Amino acid sequence: MGTKGVGMAVEKQQVGSVWTRPRKGRDQPALTREQIVAEAVSLLDAEGLEALTMRQLGARLNAGATSLYRHVANRDELIELVVDEIYGEIRLPEIADPAGWRTAATRFATELRAMILRHPWIASTLGQVGLSYLGPNVMRMNERMAAVFTTGGFPADEISDAITVVLGYVIGVGVTEAAWLSLLVRSGQTETELLASLRPAAEQAAEEFPNLQEGMPEVGWDTDPAQTRDQRFFYGLDRMLDGLEPRRKL
């Protein structure tokens, strides 16, 4: 294979991301990347992921889609940017005392979950965010979490895995909650009303499954649904942190 062929093969393997290419100069000072991202977040919060198109965003900014392409190459890059933007909302915990690692990890997990629930549309974006982990806000979050586990006395070769475990749990639960809250908005009902309407079908579906029937009273039909979601989140979080605790070397 000639040199030209090798170059073409390499080019085909390149992965596009807003974080892997130089930022273009600001040819239009009246419209910045920051303005585009802020307006995109507002659009997503108001209308959901399906409404996010370059044309719709340009209309909200009183600019043509061509103007947006000076700052982002495509919609996928825009999604990378808005995801990193909302990760910047997370108040990152400080830690000085090794014994405070669990409190700091809990505070971080609570902040991350709250961010996801403020922006339920993120449930539909996590499979589309490409190299979002290269974004500055995500990098800062991971750096602070590394500090939490390092100060907490975890082995250096386990810190990355510990962060992944915490992120995986919170994002998994948070995305499920976000999807539920999005359904709630579409229903036009309160959470209590929607659960009450679903209860007969749920109980009927469980009739052939005795273990589910036995656990049905614990579903929390008659309790505050938001409180139930909180209790379940922190139950799982506590059990996960219980599992990490023995890995500390202090």
Q: What is the DSSP string of 29-77?
A: TTS-HHHHHHHHHHHHHHH-GGG--HHHHHHHTTS-HHHHTTT-SSHHH
What pLDDT, on the 0 to 100 scale, is given for residue 76? Answer: 86
Q: Are residues 68 and 150 in the same domain?
A: no
* 43 and 103 share one domain: no
Q: What is the pLDDT of residues 154-184, one digit of tens each?
A: 999 999 999 999 999 999 999 899 888 888 8
Is 206 domain-assigned?
Answer: no
Its pTM stands at 0.81
Is there a single domain that holds both residue 174 and residue 232?
yes
What confidence score (pLDDT) does residue 90 get? 95
What does the pLDDT average to over 13-40? 73
Q: Both tokens of residue 233?
A: 């989140």
Instruction: Specify the pLDDT at position 207.
Output: 84
Given 33, 68, 87, the domain boundary residue is 87
Same domain? 126 vs 230: yes
Q: Looking at residue 30, which CATH number applies to its domain? A: 1.10.10.60
User: Do 235 and 131 have their domain in common?
Assistant: yes
Supply the range of the domain harboring residue 135.
Answer: 98-188+220-247
* Integer angstrom CA distances of residue 142 from 32, 37, 134, 147, 235: 27, 22, 10, 9, 24
Lowest model confidence (mean pLDDT) among 63-67, 72-76, 92-96, 146-150: 63-67
Domain annotation covers residue 92:
no
Q: At which of 52, 87, 122 does a domain end?
A: 87
Residue 129 and residue 227 in one domain: yes
> How many folded domains does the chain comprise?
2
